[in-house]
Amino acid sequence: MATWTFEAIGTRWAVDTAQPLAPGVQVDVLAVIERFDRAWSRFRGDSVVTAMSQQAGTWRDVESAALLLDLYDGLHAATDGAVTPLVGRSLVALGYDADYSLRPTGADAVPEDWAALRRDGAVVADVDGTVRTDRPLLLDVGAAGKGLLVDLVAVVLENRGLNAFTVDASGDLYHRGSAPIRVALEHPADPTKAIGVLELEPEQALCASAVNRRTWGDGLHHVVDGRTGLPTDDVVATWTLVEHSCMQADGLATAHFFADPEVLMDLHPHHFVRIHADGRVLRSPDLPGELFT
């Protein structure tokens, strides 16, 4: 087993393969990550998202735009508006801005209604990667973007002839191979401990989200409720396991902070674990693994 580790989009990546990756494959992987980051990062002055935040317009070759924004349409509806790509404005108001100031501004942090903007044609994304906006909008696709990027990296590896690998982007994981792997679920209050173990079959994705991953100030973290513009405080950690799509797993992991599990099961089939602030643990009945709590 060989492992290639690197830093990208502000997080640690690890790609496990049977043999070391050829330099050309590594170049291809880094290129797709750069293309995605140049489109969707609100922390880059040269990104499409930054340009969108400054003016209305038409933006071309935006990586996987229709796929990603269509997913947000479903997540927004399933969570009654809690999950939205418009939380970028909320996060900036709370201090999680492009300069990482981590100082709340005190400004109103409630975003616009995503469903209304989509219905009125204020944000349109075509399958060819063209996005049209009729006003400046600050998007933040953190609820599902990293999962999508894991999928894009997996496609690069598959296209280069690899049929057994695991891609891990600090909690967003996709596994392909001939045998399952066992993955520990990190305790949200103590990273040295696990609350359980799940078995990840080939061509499955596992994503985790927790309110302790990016925190600052008093009770401030990155899981923001789009209905209030404020961090949520009911659920503290989630995990979702999905067939084939890390993007779906990532989006559902965020949605589990806000929505009833049955509603999310109707949105997309998956396994889940979620821990509430009061210590309650909910799990799908057919979870492929065990919990220690």
128 in any annotated domain = yes
What is the pTM (predicted TM-score) of this model? Answer: 0.92
> Helix, strand or coil for residue 98?
coil
Confidence at 279, pLDDT banded by 50, 70, 90: confident
With beta carbons less than 8 A apart as the criterion, state whether 235 and 276 touch.
yes
Residue 104 lies in a domain: yes
257 Cβ neighbours under 8 A, 6+ residues apart: 82, 209, 223, 232, 234, 235, 238, 274
Is 160 inside a domain boundary? no
CATH number at residue 121: 1.10.3980.10
pLDDT band at 171 (very low <50, low <70, confident <90, very high): confident
Q: 138 lies in a domain?
A: no
DSSP 141: -
Does residue 251 belong to any structural domain of this protein? no
Q: Tell me the mean pLDDT in the region 257-273.
A: 92
Count of domains in the chain? 1
* Alpha helical stretches, state H, the chain: 23-40, 48-54, 65-78, 87-94, 114-119, 145-159, 246-255, 261-267
Residue 243 near residue 204, CB atoms below 8 Å = yes
- Domain range for residue 102? 43-133
Whether residue 271 is predicted with pLDDT greater than 90 in this model: the reply is yes
Q: Is residue 229 part of a domain?
A: no
5 assigned to some structural domain: no
Average pLDDT of the residues in 178-194: 87
In a domain? residue 102? yes
